[in-house]
Structure 1
Amino acid sequence: MAQFKTIDDMDLDGKVVLTRVDLNVPVEDGRVTDATRIEKIVPTVKDIQARGGIPVLLAHFDRPKGKRVDSMSLRQILPALETALGQEVAFAEDCIGGPAKRVVAGLQAGDVGLLENTRFHEGEERNDPTFAASLAALGGAYVNDAFSAAHRAHASTEGLARLLDAGAGRLMEAELKALDAALGNAQRPVMAVVGGAKVSSKLDLLMNLIEKVDHLVIGGGMANTFLVARGVEVGTSLAERDMADTARAIMQKADQGGCTIHLPVDIVVAREFRAGADSEVLGVDDCPPDAMILDAGPQTVEALTAAMQGCRTLIWNGPLGAFEIEPFDRATNEAARAAAELTRAGSLISVAGGGDTVAALNKAGAAADFTFISTAGGAFLEWMEGKELPGVAALQA
């Protein structure tokens, strides 16, 4: 992995440290309903303060498309941020110009500032050099702690890092180290679990993974497309039949590269997609014409767990079935708990990410035992696809 600077490599004493964070949290009626992302930035803010720096937070919120939208103001995040940090936070009504300069000028050692939504300016998403320079003029150093926005080449994630002494915050550092342990310099054998509805949305991901992992487990609606490619009848199941040739090409490439692809050997089928629907477990070749596959069966989970026991590293993105409703969450839950148990025993390094994945692992009660759970969404997926992330590349020493 390319070397990147962290807070430890920077001289922050007496400097205003522009700190890019992820404050894109759920808000209802002007109140934060889940402060997880806010709580995760606390170590970075406290470490900057401990090194004599004055953290001034930069963040986007929602998609105002370059215009000031009151309902997307970061002011509504302020109470939750102050609670998490245990101190008052000075808020600037803009992220550049007079309002920002006045708030920053009034900060002293030990203080924290928060600037208004960077996306209220068109220059943010365009990575406009003039806008980036206006941000840079406010500080003496830059720390990026928003891995979740690192796949965007925006002014506050990429442009700013080119203008000031720059390094990774604690959350970014932890994320990069975990990802390197999972794919960059992984302990082998490596297994990847990839679930989801469509092969077409994860094509780049699958193509990258079959070159880097020893076992690739395909679940969810994607598995149905691969079963179709193998000539298996899948009834009324969700499947991209027009992607069968692509699925066959992926299987052929995996075979040539020594990557074992795991598909369901038994299935859970139902006639309707609802919680508690009548369901039955059948062999993979026995799906009735009027039924749909909604989960992998117990033999599949058993085979998957056995393969997992022989691995040292696991990367997980996406559920194995329709995990949102019972009883079609069983395969995901049981496989996730097996991974958690192996991780707890010290025999597996487990890294997971993506919205549905985090929800599924939380539902299974397995998330706490995984080595690392990424909340980054798009950035995590692009990293799994083997793409360079502009916000990370800009921090490389």
Structure 2
Amino acid sequence: MENIKTVNDFNFKNKTALVRVDFNVPVNNNQSFQILDDTRIMYSLPTIQKIISDFGKVVIISHFGRPKGKYSKIYSLRFIISYLSDKLKIPIKFSESCIGQSVEKKISELKNGEVLLLENIRFYKEEENGNENFAFQLSKLGDIYVNDAFGVSHRSHASITMVPKFFVEKKCIGFLMKKEIQSLKKVLGKGKNPITILLGGAKISSKIAIIENLIKLVDYVLIGGGMSYPFIKAQGGKVGESLVDEYKDLKMLQKIIEQYKKQNKTKIFFPKDVIIADSFKDSAKTKMASIHSIPNGWMGLDIGPKSINHFCEIINSSRTILWNGPLGVFEFPNFSSGTFSIAKAIVKATQNGAFSLVGGGDSIAALKMRKYETKISCLSTGGGAMLESLKNKILPGIKAIIS
């Protein structure tokens, strides 16, 4: 990992760079394709600009949505053209095909400093199937392969893991990928102590392996949101109608709980109190309860004031912080206090010199609702990819570059 090549290791003059990016950005639903969050695009621009400044040619590969291997107008990448052109200050050419003579002809006509955007790579079923022949056809489009798509680098898709095999030594990562890798290194074992990991959201099944790995690497693991209720249930607590995900292996949860109780370094904390509701809506009847004794017919939708104070105290004393997943149903104003209080605490800790890394769509959305996104050390562009990295795994997209 230390010797992984970046775009700075290449001079792209008179070369065609095949750049895999992640332009899978949220847009509004009224078919006007207004971009609601341009973080992933903005973070990829420095890589594209570097190649252009070298007088190289850029061929962009990206996906958008889940068209399931078929062309669909609503999943076309055409809406990116004008936006990208405005940001790069140059015209952006477009190809409706990703492989074949048509796109090869357009690339042969590209001049140094020009950019060609390919249509949604997921219009080809071979992409998600990791088809080797499809990857070979893609590899014919460039001289140097660049992966700057951290958000999908945990996927074994053709453009992520198969295409790099055809470039031997002429492959590298972009600036976005480099930043993501360096940020994770600052958390995993190399961060300044105390190191605190805050995990929320609902999908506990995707985070069990993370907790097992982090137990020996960090000082504090704070678990909240929908993720906390299965743990409480495993300890014999009553969680009422609270979300318990699809995770059913309570014995595994009990094993993890016993494991951290036996070792001395890492402390794992759950909420003490929660705001409970009699239905899943903002106007629901609410009251405070211990997280261990939620009555039947009631559900926990946010952490309570005691939990907020406890979590914030730990965050304020931390020097390295990673946050993934909200602490409650923050989309409902009546259940947003926990998530926004944590976000504010992380901002304060960052201003006081802590390193902070925030990933996951909901966590970043919460930051942006309070205009905190520029007050965090680093926003991760890949929730799933970040979580896979926390399991102490080399992502397939990174492994394909270094192998």
TM-score range, shorter chain: over 0.9
Matched, 1:54 2:57: yes
CA RMSD in angstroms comes to 2.2
3-state DSSP class of the match of 2:275? strand
% identical aligned pairs: 37
State the Cα distance separating 1:380 from its structure 2 match: 1.7
Question: For 1:366 and 1:317, how far apart are their aligned partners in 2?
Answer: 15
Q: Deviations over 1:133-157 (max 9, x none)?
A: 2222221111111111111122211
Q: What is residue 248 of structure 1 aligned with on the other side? A: 254
Q: What is residue 120 of structure 2 aligned with on the other side? A: 117
2:288 to 264, 273, 281: 281
1:227 to 228, 232, 236: 232
Q: Deviations over 1:183-235 (max 9, x none)?
A: 25222221111112243343222222223222111101221222223333333
Q: Which amino acid aligns with 1:292?
A: M
Matched, 1:31 2:33: yes
Q: Deviations over 1:27-66 (max 9, x none)?
A: 4425343360333322111111112211111112223333
Matched, 1:317 2:324: yes
State the Cα distance separating 1:7 from its structure 2 match: 0.9
Q: How does 1:11-160 map to 2 (within 5 A)?
A: 11-27=11-27, 28-29=30-31, 31-34=33-36, 36=38, 37-160=40-163
TM (norm. structure 2) is 0.91
Question: For 1:137 and 1:81, how far apart are their aligned partners in 2?
Answer: 24
- Stretch of structure 1 that moved more, 246-255 or 117-126: 117-126
CA contact (8 A) 1:358 1:375 kept: no
Q: How does 1:258-337 map to 2 (within 5 A)?
A: 258-285=265-292, 287-337=294-344
Q: What is residue 243 of structure 2 aligned with on the other side? A: 238
Q: Deviations over 1:268-304 (max 9, x none)?
A: 2222332143423344455444432222111111111
3-state DSSP class of the match of 1:99? helix
State the Cα distance separating 1:384 from its structure 2 match: 2.0
Q: What is residue 218 of structure 2 aligned with on the other side? A: 213
2:200 to 172, 195, 198: 195
Q: What is residue 372 of structure 2 aligned with on the other side? A: 366
Q: How does 1:157-172 map to 2 (within 5 A)?
A: 157-164=160-167, 165-172=170-177
In structure 2, relative to structure 1, the CA distance for the partners of 1:150 and 1:198 (3 Å cut) is closer
Q: Deviations over 1:53-93 (max 9, x none)?
A: 11111112223333333433323322222222221111122
Structure 1 unaligned residues grouped into runs of 5+ = none
Give the number of equivalent residue pairs: 396
Q: Deviations over 1:153-192 (max 9, x none)?
A: 2221122222221111111111111111122522222111
Q: Which amino acid aligns with 1:105?
A: S
TM (norm. structure 1) is 0.92
Q: Which amino acid aligns with 1:239?
A: V
Question: For 2:328 and 2:313, how far apart are their aligned partners in 1?
Answer: 19
State the Cα distance separating 1:362 from its structure 2 match: 2.3
Structure 2 unaligned residues grouped into runs of 5+ = none
Q: What is residue 180 of structure 1 aligned with on the other side? A: 185
Question: For 1:278 and 1:121, how far apart are their aligned partners in 2?
Answer: 49
CA contact (8 A) 2:57 2:113 kept: yes
In structure 2, relative to structure 1, the CA distance for the partners of 1:184 and 1:117 (3 Å cut) is farther
